[in-house]
Amino acid sequence: MHLRLTHTGHIVHVAPTLKKMRADIDLIGKRFLEVFRLDRPRSVKSMGELTQRARSKLHLELRDEPFTALKGVLVQLPDGQGALVNLSFGISVVEGVQDYGLNSADFAATDLAIEMLYLVEAKSAAMDASRNLNHRLQGAKLAAEEQAATDTLTGLKNRRAADHILAAALAEDSEFSLMNLDLDFFKSVNDTQGHAAGDYVLQEVAKVMRAETRKGDMIARVGGDEFMFLIDGLTKKEKLLEIANRLIRGIEKPIAFEQTQCHISASIGIAMRSRGDSEGLDALMLCSDRALYASKSKGRACATFFEELDEET
């Protein structure tokens, strides 16, 4: 990109690319310093001072919008024929190309702008590839973490995840209820109908558990036929008993496997925690375990609250 100036600084020739950049303005006849603001060298105020700085690097900006920043150098022509100003976008080449819709045909074959555009494009592609790789790695990490916290057979949380969630709830002094559930007569299914039937029963039981609890409640398989629930924010006995009874009724429905019917039930123990309670995780789990054993002692297929054991004693 270039301009030709008279010795007085008037523009007498404009290169095609500059014309494209200011298609709505006729630059011919205008004074160079009226079209461009000279940022450096700062001391230059006139065309005479500018010609004295011939071959020095110039930092300019177009005075009207868009205020494109340019780099340039002025060279005096022989025999007082004026001067030639060669301009380039410098590091602003990407913005310049976007602002004015330029392409490779708008630059001289020797203009480094094309190489710079290739470098910018290559860098952009490399950054995109890096971001995509990071997203994939992050996704793989999250998937691995989820897999490490999931029981592969049922898709429920596993013991490791349950311990972590319970510890976090205690650390936050949350109000919640802990529910332990053991399947009754599950061993009989495994022994008489095989492990394939047992696995299928566990998967069907997990569906019942998801259906009968709230979305935010934790459900974990913590043993072969042992499950744990964290019912967040709920310590009302009536509501908890409703959930427990729905679980038992849903689990007691016959489960068809191949040509047979699998019959199981469930016993449940419940311990409630209020804000400010001092019991730790082990103590809370012991309370729900004791309530569970009480349910089994009563004949199974029922739910018992730990607080009721205290009342009985």
SS3 of 190, please?
helix
Instruction: Report the C-alpha gap between 66 and 64 in whole angstroms.
Output: 6
What domains sit in the chain, N to C, each tagged with a CATH number? 2-111 (3.30.450.260), 159-312 (3.30.70.270)
Contact 35, 27 (CB under 8 A): yes
Confirm whether pTM is higher than 0.75.
no
pLDDT tens per residue, range 151-196:
999 999 999 999 999 999 999 999 999 999 999 999 999 999 999 9
Q: What residue ranges in 161-225 does DSSP mark as E strands?
A: 176-184, 218-221
- What residues have CB less than 8 Å from 206, skipping those under 6 apart? 154, 155, 156, 219, 221
292 CA to centre of own chain? 41
DSSP state of 77: P
Q: Show the tokens assigned to 198.
A: 């047992």
For 225, the enclosing helix (H) or strand (E) is none
Helix (DSSP H) and strand (DSSP E) numbers for the chain: 11, 13
What confidence score (pLDDT) does residue 72 get? 86
Show the low-confidence residues of the chain (pLDDT under 50): 313
- The one catalytic residue in 151, 182, 184, 225 is 225
Instruction: Report the C-alpha gap between 22 and 20 in whole angstroms.
Output: 5
Contact 47, 53 (CB under 8 A): no
> In 10 A of CB 265, how many CB atoms?
16
Sign of CA dihedral 219, 214, 204, 145: negative
For 208, the enclosing helix (H) or strand (E) is helix 195-212
277 is catalytic: no
Contact 271, 288 (CB under 8 A): yes
